[in-house]
Structures are given as C-alpha cells and as structure tokens.
Chains A and B, each alone.
Chain A
Amino acid sequence: MLDDDQIVGRAYDARLMRRLLRYVRPYRRVVATAVGVLLVASAADLVGPLLYRVAIDRYIAPQAAGARALSPAADARGLAGVAALYLAILGAGFAARWLQSNLMQYVGQRVMADLRVEMFGHLQTLSLGFFSRTPVGRLVTRLTNDVDALNELITSGVVAIFGDIATLVGITTIMLWMNWRLALAAFVVLPAVFAVTERFRRRSRGAYRAVRTRLARLNAFLNEHLMGMTVTQLFTQERRSRARFDELNASLLDANLISTRNFSQFYPIIQVLGAIGVAVLVWYGGGQVVRSAATLGVLVATIQYAERFFDPLRDLADKFNILQAAMASSERIFRVLDEPVTVEDPPAPAPLPRGRGRLEFRDVWFAYDDDETWALRGVTFAIQPGESVAIVGHTGAGKTSILNLLTRFYDPQRGQVLIDGVDVRRVAQRELRRRIGLVLQDVFLFAGTVESNIRLGNADLSAEDIRRAAERVGAHRFIEALPGGYGAVLQERGAGLSVGQKQLIAFARALAADPEILLVLDEATSSVDAETETLIRRAMATALRGRTSITIAHRLSTVQHADRILVLHHGRLAEEGRHADLLRRNGIYAKLYRLQFEVEARSAR
C-alpha cells in the first residue's frame, strides 16, 4: 500500500480543484468583493507611468511633445497637481490591497475551518478498526499541516491569479491605447517569453516530481533505518546502510541540481527578454519620438509598463509550486474524508426500549479486520437484568471482543448482539452507548478539570451529582485534596495523578452517567498500593450494585463475587457457573484460576 505521506500529487488536477472550490462557494460574495477591490488595487498600480507621461508631456518636456510651453511657474504648479493626484491614487491602492488581503485571509481561514470541522466530524463516525490501523499522528497531520497548505492556495493562489491577469490585461490595453505601434514593438519579445515560460513550466513539473519522490524515498529510508538502528548496529551493517543512504542522498542532490538549473535559467532569461523589449523601444520608439510620431512621455511610460509586464510572469514559478503542494495536500485530505463509515447507524434507528438491561449474544462469530483467525466462534449467552457476570479467559480468548461488540465498536460477521431484545445494529450508536457505562483499564482523561472529566459533557448533572458520584466510589477525599478540588485542571492525560486515582475517576465517571449496563475491564495493576487497591475494589462493588454488568476479571475478588462466571477459551464459551462450582469441576477455569489468581491469593495471605 502506498504510504499517504508519499503522495506527491500531480501539478494540477481539475477534479481535486473543483472539489476544493466547493468549499469556497459559501464565501463567493466575499471572494467577489475581494476580486473587485483587487481590480481597484491593480488599476492604482498602473496609473503611475501614465501620470509620468502626463507630467512629462505637459509640464516637464512639453517641447518634445510638440505642445505649447507654459511659464516655468505654471509648469511647477501643474507638476505638483499631478504629484498630488499620484499620491492620492497610491493611498487608494494601498487601502484596496490591504482590504483585499484581509478579505482573502478571512475566506482562507473560514474554508480551512470548515474543512477541519468536517474532517473532525467524519473521524468521529469512523469505526475503531480504522483507528487501530491508522497512526494518530498521521491523522493529526492531515487536520493541521495539510489543511494549512491549502491556505496559501486560497489566499495567494486563486485571487493573485485574477490580479495577475488583470494587471497583464490592463498593461496591454493602456500600452495599445497610448501608442499601438510602440506597444507592438515592445511585444516583439512576447512569443519568446511564452516559449521560455512554457519550457520552464514543463521542466519544473518533472523536476518537482523528481525532487518530491526522491525526498520521500530518502525520508522513508531514514525513518526506517532510525527505527531499526539497533539491528543495523548489531549486524555491523552501518557501512552498507550508509552506502544506500548516500545513494538516495546523491539521487536527491541530482534532482535538486536539475531543478536549480531550471530556475537559474528562467529568471535571467526573462530578465534579458524584458531588457531586449526595452532596447527595441529605445531604438524604434526613440525614432518615432524624433520623427514626432510619438511623445517622449508616451515612450517613457511605455518603457515603464514593459518592465512591469514581466513581473507577473516571473512570479509564475512560485505560484506553480504553491499549486503543486496544495494539490498533494488536498488529495491526502480527501482520502480521509472519503474513508467509508463501516459501523453506521441504521437509516431509521429503532428506539431502545426503556428496559432493564438484558444482554444476549446469539451465535456470534467475529474476527478483526486484519486478523486471520476468529476472535469469537459461535458464542451464545444471555445475562439477566441486574445480574453481574465476570468473564475470564487466557490471553486472546476473546474477552475484549465481547465488550467491543456490545458497545458496537465493531460489528460481528455473523449472529446477533441484543440489548433488551433489540439487535444493537438497529439502534442509534449514541442511544446505545448512553445506556452502557464503560470502565477501561487504560483510563483516558481529557484536558480539563476533574469535574469535566467526570461529567463528560452531560449538562443535566448538577455539581452535587458529580460530588455524590465521586463520594460513592471513594474518590471524593483525594479530589478535595487537589489544589482547586473539583475545579483542578488536569495536566496532560492526568499526569500527577496515580494510576489508582485515575481509575477511581473512571468509576465516578461511569457512576455519574448512571447507565443500566456497566462494562468493566479491570486489570490488577501492580503499581497500586494496598489502600488504593481496597478503594478500587470497593468502588467496583458500589458501581456494579443494581446493574447488569460484565467484568473482564483479573482480580480474585471480582470472580468470587460475580453472580456467574463465563469462561472463554479460544473464542468459545467453554464453561460457565459460579466460582466454587467451576473450581470443583477442575476444567479450564480451575487451571486459569491457578494461573491467574493463585499468585494473588497466595500473596494476599
């Protein structure tokens, strides 16, 4: 599979561009205004040489224009007037440019914001399977840097192209209007300019691709060889891996040198062509002035315009790079947006009856995406409302899969998972998950306060509810002791809290939501001291009371107190019953007990 980060992108892709422009559409009025303002700015830019012409022909060198000479004082006054007009127009141009850049930044930022919100929202609907195979870091890059790469396209690219075209058209028109012969003389070099630009564009497309692919290859190699550095060192392969690195490095250097040569040729050639245009004007235009077929002012203005004509063409190179980078980024962004939602809500979700939480698995077969073997093989069981069930099994027996299917993080390939008689696939996921509380072994705390971590967005809960939940699981005491109490802001992922404290918060969180069904992944953590261990054990007992519950048990106390124990083995339900009965049976449970719990039982003695 091609790594997303290695997408280099075509120079221009009409399909991608159309799709991108769809995001600009809501702001088309602002864009139109910006273009309008930009036209004003471009016009203001173009006025300069025209004013020079007027000044020269009327006041500075009227004789050369064949005009009647005024008195020096009148000339000076007229000149000051022109200068004042020039100043005013410059001011207007400045205002227009500023306004235009503000408008376009606004549009660019809004479009990026819309894209980000859409991507983020889409990611929330994707299944856990997607997240297990996609590194989080990569997705973060999509949402941040890749979206940012589009900004330049929108703010500088789209509008600047309008501006450049406007400038080119404006200059051409004015030059032709002032004196079409001079204009045509200056344009003699244009065919050469277009030929050079076209050749440059063609070459830089190839050069850009070569640089990008070789850079991507080099970085992929570097990344891999940094990760496997110990292997390289243990097998004394440093020299060999360095030789391959140097090869890639040299091939990138080659591509960079070719690209540099292309750029280094382009700028001076355009410059020379511009100068030749000016030289032609001096030779031909000068003759025209001498023969009085043109005024000196017109000639000077035409020369100034001819020089400006080449600026937008020179910028083309930069815009080309912006466009290519943006295309590559948008392709990666759309790949995320196009990721299909595999676990979907039904079109007309059935209401989940306000039952008491009866759970049932009916001949469930389930395998993870990238796994060759079944994780669950024909599992059937039912749990009555209020019953507390413990699931035990060896590593890989399928315990976590039961939780994953109940919460609909995944869908089974066969069979049904039912809550109060309704297939979980028929109800809305949020509806389902609101009824189920989940306490995971890896407690995840969000940035925010202790309270917001217990509340988790549930606005119906009062501060009193939060406190009571914390009290019931025995978390109240340590929370109060935190600086700021319930309002204490948690450091990154709850750094500063002990593992046990985090677990207590997780129980408080589940209790505050007051679900009918509680799923607990309990893991005896060796880093918890005896006192906290007692607290956690008590918290769990409190949380489970009066609820239908499934606990993936790693603690002896949990299995001892469960109403029923389900023993999973290699994806099958192997045994079930109460602790004492199962022990007596001397089957799989008895072995598991000796393996998992006996050490605990022994050390507790």
Chain B
Amino acid sequence: MHSRRFWQYVRRHGRAYLTGYAASAVAVAMAQLSPWALRAAVDAIQHGAGGRLGMFAGILAVLALAEAAATYVMRIQILSVAYRVESDLRHDYFAHLQRMPLRFYQRMPVGDLMARAVNDIRAVQRLAGVGLMRSVQTTIMIVASVAAMLTLHAGLTLLMLTVMPLITLLYLGLGREIRRRFDRVQAQFAALSTRVQENLSGIRVVKAFAQEPAEQARFAQEVDAVVGVNVRLARVQGALWPAIGLIFGLASVVLLWQGGDLVIRGRLTLGQMVQFSYYLARLTFPMVALGWITNLWQQGSASMRRLDEIFGVKPEVRDPEHPAALAAPRGAVEFRNVTVAFDGVPVLRDVSFAVPPGHTVAIVGPTGAGKSTLVGLVPRLYDPVQGQVLVDGHDVRSLSLASLRRAVALVPQETFLFSDTLAENIRLGLDGAEEPGGTPHGGAVTRAAAVAQLAGDVERFPLRYETVVGERGVTLSGGQRQRAALARAVIRDPRILILDDALSSVDTDTERRILAGLRGVMATRTCLVISHRISAVRDADWIVVLRDGRIAEQGTHETLVRADGLYAALYEQQLLRDELDAADTGPDAADPPRPARAPRA
C-alpha cells in the first residue's frame, strides 16, 4: 500500500486503531490462557480431584468474558473507525470533484467516477476495517499460539507444525492456478457483458434483420462458455478450503497419534494434550484468514490507486493564488485575441470583441463554430490558451471564481434540473446556503418564473412550485425545462446574463414574450445571446457571426443583412423555417384525444 493518502486517513484515527490493537492483544492473551485452565481441569479430573472443578470452571468463564470484552472493544474501535475513514474519503472525493472543471467531466464518464465512489471506496473501507484488524490480530494469534505450544512440548509442536508448510504450498500452487482460471472467468464474463451491450444497443438492427434467433444462439454459446470456465475454476477453487481442512485434520491426527503416545508413555499429561488441541484450533482460523487478508490488501491497494488517480488530477481552472474580488461589477466584457484549443485542436482562433456594460450581443453561426466555447469563457468553464477574457477590465483568471460566477449567469442549452422541487431548482440561482428555503424569497421565485413564462405552466401542476422535477420527479417538456433554467438565472439578478441557445425548445411565440420580459428586468444588464433563431437576435445591439472558430462578420442586423454574407443566408433560412411552421398550425381541434398512456410495469 503506497498511498500516502490512505495512511493519512488511518493516522487521523490513530488513537482508535491503537486502542483496538491493545484490546486485540488482550483478547489473544485471554485466548491463550483458557487452554491452561482447561488442562489443569482435565488433569485434576483424571486424578480424581474433583474439589477444584468449580474454580476452574469459574476461571474459564471469567477468561471467556474478558476475551469477549476485549474482542468487542477491538471490533467496535477498528471497524467503526473504518467507516469513518470511508466517510472522510467520500467527503474528500466529492469536494475534490467539485473543483474539477467542465473539461474533466467531458473526458471522464460519470459512470466511471461513480464506480470509483461505490466499489473502490468500499474496498478501501474493508482494508481499513477488517483488513487492518485481522492483519495484526492474526499475526499476534499465530505467534502466541506457536510460542505456547513450543513451551508445552517442543518436539510435538514441531511434529505437528511439519504439516503447516503444506498450507503455504497449497496457497502457492492452487493460488496461481486459481488466479489463472479466475482471469479466464473474468475475461469470459466481460465478453458476455459486451455481447449483451452490443445486442441491446443494436436491437433495432437485430429486429430489422430478424436476427433474434441467431443472436440468441450466439448468446447461448457465450453463456455456455461462462459456465465452462466457472466450472473449471470451481474444480480448483472448490479444493482449496477442504484441502486446508484436511491439512488441519492431519495436524489433529498427528496430535492424537504422537501426543497420545506421549501420554501413554507418561511424557505428557492428558490435560496437556487437550491443551494442545485447543492451540491447534486457535491456529486454524488465522491460517485460513491469511489468504483472505492478502486479498483485502491487494484489492484495497488497487482501489486506493484508482482513487488517487482522481485525487491526483489538478483542476485546470482554479482560483489564482491571490484572487481579486469583483466588487460592484458593471458588466463590461471583452475578448482580446482569444484562442482556445482542446487536446491541441483549436476551437476558437484569435477572437476579439468588446461588450459595453448593459449591451446585448448576439452570437450566431453554424453548428460547431465555437459559440458555446466562446461564451463559456466568461464564467471560466474553460480558459483560453492565448489571449484574455476581461470583465470590467480584469482578466477573469485574476478574479476569485466565486465572485466572478456570482456576477454571471449562464443558461446552457442542455438543461439540468436536480431531483428536487421546482422552487428549490429556481432558488438555486440565489446565492449561498445561508438563505433557507423560506418565504422571504417566495416572491422572487414566482417573479422569476413569470419572466421566464413558466408561471402559467406551474399553475397547472397540482403541487405548483412544490412539484418535484428532475430525473426522479415529474417529467417536464423540453421547453418547460429550459424556462425553469432561465428562471434560475433570472432570480440571480446577474450583471451578465448568457443564454447559450437556451430557448431552443421554446416555441417562437413564447420566446418573443420571454425576450420582451427580459428586456424589462435586464435592461441595465449585459447579455450574451446564442440562438439559431434570427428573431431572438435581430434586436441585439451587436451581432457576432462565428464560423470555424473565427469571427466571419459582425455588425447590426441591418448592416449584416445588407452585406449578404453568412448571416444573410442564415436569416433567409430562418424565414423559411418560420413560414413552414406557420404553414400548418399545431394539433387540430378535429384530432382525436391522445390515448391514455400505456401502463408500465
């Protein structure tokens, strides 16, 4: 285990581990003492001395109680603390991920991060708990038991222990074979997963070409192969535990045979022989546990390594060393020779323009022109590789992230709502946790919803603003989601509002009303608007047209239309689209009602 981080967590709870280990030593000592009492009792019985039996029984009971108490302390200390380590680790993991920029999430699938959070943290917890507990306890137990046996009768002990190397051999021999076969099981299992994944992803093609029987036959083959490798693994693995049992049985046979012989010849008392059998029993579990403990260490270290991989990623976008606060922002935005590249591929090249405070600038251009990247630079979702982005004359990289983002509200095209009430989702825009979900802002939520033209929809929900939305709540339409996201930005009352094609799922009519409403509340605010709809951008103070990461043209709507360039072509297409939309108006009154949704299991 090379992870410094792991040992830091352990050290943080060092006191609990030390208490646990001390208790463990006590428990082992008690476990070593009780066979002595038993031996004395047996010898006394054998010699017909029944007088002191009550005392021996009492000693046995007291020793057992002491051992149990110590075991309890050991378990409760170490196992509990392992859950605290887990909890600390999980907290730090999440806190670390919160500092990771957008690019990190674009590269790292959430499923992968979740797998680490679920499986790897659990493996580390098991190592910090049972792993660390058993490692120490087992070692003490083995050493103490062997020492006790040696003092009892060295010859007999050595004779009995001759079988022990067999266990090591067994682990080495079978262990390697088990690992080899286990790898094959894993590979076959992965093949099975892949086959299922492929079939289900391509189910349309499977069905279209009537491939179901062929696919089922291939799947059945794959499944049979899984059975085959597992049965082969079982053949070896199934031998491991019985073999260990057999080896301990051998030791027991040796004890019966040679130990009994010593008793017959008067070199050993019967009590001592019984005592031996107890030590042997005390050795069994630790010996068996060794293999298991090794496993815990291996898995725990591998998991910690995977977690350290994440912890080792330094956020590309982070606060400067001496962050300046953006006090009383006015909302001036300037792009100065900005170039952005992802993995060496340039996305924006040498873009420069300035937005005076309170102005609205629209950014248009074909898909992939770099529009979203451009506006993402303002709240530092990305950083440029060259050039500067300035807010009120400050390079955004010199400002504290929090104060910068407090001045900016960006509404992305892909809306994300949390599984929470609508009110909470909108209130998210209000800054800080210091305001509990109380009434003071109740009015703010409804006002923001009104500006976003969402209020009417909400009135139709039975629970109104208390409706739970998001993945585990009511499914909102795309337009409703976008309007909720807009309300979230409006309630923030930002100096700079950025709409990244944020109304694409809203119909033209509603969009017009929203924009009109925004003009009222956002009159003195700076706005950056990306839209595919010319209707949303034609009234902007300035329009920037991007193509292939460069500014193709810029100007006002009138000058650009007159220039008859890219903007004019886009404008013409938009007019056509509007005409098409108008050619046939939505659902007719004559339409039959939509049938009730099919019940789902």
Contacts and interface: CB of A to CB of B under 8 A. Distances in A.
Contacts of A76: 261, 264
Contacts of A123: 199-200, 203
Contacts of B584: 569-570, 572, 574, 588
Interface in B50-89: 50, 53-54, 56-58, 60-61, 63-65, 67-69, 71-72, 75-76, 79-80, 83-84, 86-87
A124 B98 contact: no
Interface residue SS majority, chain B = helix
Interface string B558-576: 0000000000000001001
Contacts of A447: 194-195, 198
A365 B196 CA distance: 34
A55 B83 contact: no
B242 A101 contact: yes
B114 A219 contact: yes
Interface string B444-460: 00000000000000000
A433 B419 CA distance: 41
Contacts of A338: 601
Contact of A140 (B197, B239, B431, B579): B197
A444 B204 contact: yes
A97 B241 contact: yes
A240 interface: yes
A110 B228 CA distance: 10
B109 to A, nearest CB: 10
Interface residues of B, number: 151
B204 A219 contact: no
Contact of A59 (B38, B91, B231, B264): B264
B256 A286 contact: no
A275 interface: yes
Given A61-B46, A109-B231, A595-B573, A263 B405 contact: no
Nearest to B73: A264
A527 to B, nearest CB: 12
B112 to A, nearest CB: 10
Interface centre among B189, B210, B243, B576 (most CB of A within 10 A): B210
Contacts of B576: 591, 594-595
Given A235-B492, A444-B205, A591-B580, A124 B261 contact: no
B234 A56 contact: no
B42 A224 contact: no
B65 A242 contact: no
B84 A253 contact: yes
Interface string A355-391: 0000000000101011011100100000000000000
Contacts, number: 413
Interface in B191-233: 192-216, 219-220, 223-224, 226-227, 230-231
Contacts of B209: 433, 438, 456-457, 509, 513
A434 B189 contact: no
B264 A365 contact: no
A246 interface: yes
A221 B588 CA distance: 42
A518 to B, nearest CB: 11
Interface stretch (A113-121, A173-181, A323-331, A544-552): A113-121
A456 B214 contact: yes
Contact of A271 (B64, B250, B261): B64
B213 to A, nearest CB: 8
10 contacts: A87-B253, A101-B234, A231-B416, A234-B408, A235-B428, A253-B86, A282-B56, A296-B42, A296-B270, A369-B598
Given A93-B246, A121-B216, A444-B205, 16 more contacts: A1-B600, A60-B263, A61-B270, A113-B224, A113-B226, A124-B199, A136-B201, A137-B197, A224-B419, A226-B113, A230-B412, A234-B410, A236-B401, A237-B433, A283-B56, A595-B580
